[in-house]
Structure 1
Amino acid sequence: MSTHPALRFEAGGLERDDVAALLAEHLAEMRATSPAESVHALPVAALSAPSISFWTARDADDLVGCGALKDLGGAHAELKSMRTRAAARGRGVGEAMVRHLLAEAQRAGMRRVSLETGTQDHFAPARRLYARHGFTVCSPFGEYRLDPHSVFMTREV
């Protein structure tokens, strides 16, 4: 896998049509692969909450991915809405986004970053990505509860 040197990260952008389309695609895929009660992906309106910081990844003007951090309090953040556009997969966008989000969490004074992802085979690449970046399986955090369709992971920053 190669990384793309021209990748640019921008804060915000939720009002842009290409971002709304990518997030709609993300929600649709999550709903198609997980039971409704196990879908924890956020719609655009929820990503606008004051506790959430959202970034896009662009290659020139093309949106290739997005990700967010939700401040859970107590120097703990949750990685949310990680998504790479299908046409950009395999180019290092996810790797770069995770590195970016971890750096942003550290800049914000976070000491821990956690996440929730699925247990299904569909989510295996995501679980491998997070494990490569030091995330390990943990108990549910925040408002999450045990769910056979969810894996919870965490790491210190």
Structure 2
Amino acid sequence: MQAYRIVRDDLTQPAVLALLQFHLDEMNRWSPADKVHAMAAERLRAPDVTFFSAWDGAALASVGALRDLGAGRGELKSMRSAPDYRGRGAGRAMLDRLLDEARARGMTWLGLETGRPQAFRDAHALYAANGFAECAPFGDYVSDDFSLCMERGL
């Protein structure tokens, strides 16, 4: 797998903001309005969220965040690879970094919400290959024909 430089990010670089906007735009295109749970940059800067970016030299490869839910629980947010880095291990590298961060913080459970339709199948495969399985909804999420919640222990 290609090596990426993954850093804690302050969400100020234009490339990072552009990839997050691309992510939000796609979520709004693929999802019903009430099922878009992607966080805007302002929300990703909140104290309960730690945001990371992965770089291939000067090129942004992927982004991802870990939200602290308290009581040893965390949530993956804003996982997105840049279009040129899909299928090149950038998402996997980010997921590995977020798992390491969760473990370092003493978290024992991670959850995520994603869509069920075909557009989300690559994400399902990545998460399933890394120990995540479908679970009951958590937080404010509702599992239905569109939304899928997944979890794994650490």
Shorter-chain TM range is over 0.9
* Cα drift, residue 11 of structure 1: 0.2
- Deviations, residues 97-122 of structure 1 (Å, cap 9, x unaligned): 11111011000110001000001100
The aligned runs of 1:77-156 (5 Å cut-off) are: 77-156=74-153
Secondary structure of the residue that 1:143 maps to in structure 2?
A: coil
**Identity fraction in percent:** 44
Secondary structure of the residue that 2:91 maps to in structure 1?
A: helix
**The one of 46, 64, 80 aligned to 1:67:** 64
* Cα drift, residue 90 of structure 1: 1.3
Supply the RMSD in Å over aligned alpha carbons. Answer: 0.8
Taking the aligned partners of 2:131 and 2:93, their CA distance within structure 1 comes to 14
**The one of 49, 53, 71 aligned to 2:50:** 53
* Cα drift, residue 81 of structure 1: 0.2
Contact preservation (8 Å) 1:65, 1:84: yes
Taking the aligned partners of 2:81 and 2:129, their CA distance within structure 1 comes to 17
- Stretches of 4+ moved more than 2 A in 1? 145-148
* Cα drift, residue 154 of structure 1: 0.2
* Cα drift, residue 142 of structure 1: 1.5
Taking the aligned partners of 2:148 and 2:142, their CA distance within structure 1 comes to 11
Taking the aligned partners of 1:148 and 1:128, their CA distance within structure 2 comes to 18
* Cα drift, residue 46 of structure 1: 0.6
The aligned runs of 1:4-15 (5 Å cut-off) are: 4-5=2-3, 7-15=4-12
Contact preservation (8 Å) 2:49, 2:67: yes
Normalised by the length of structure 2, the TM-score is 0.97
Secondary structure of the residue that 2:114 maps to in structure 1?
A: strand
**Range moving further from structure 2, 106-115 or 137-146:** 137-146
1:34 aligns with 2:31: yes
Gaps of 5+ in 1: none
Counting matched residue pairs gives 154
* Cα drift, residue 149 of structure 1: 1.1
- Deviations, residues 95-151 of structure 1 (Å, cap 9, x unaligned): 111111101100011000100000110001100100000000000111222332110
Contact preservation (8 Å) 1:55, 1:66: yes
Taking the aligned partners of 2:66 and 2:26, their CA distance within structure 1 comes to 20
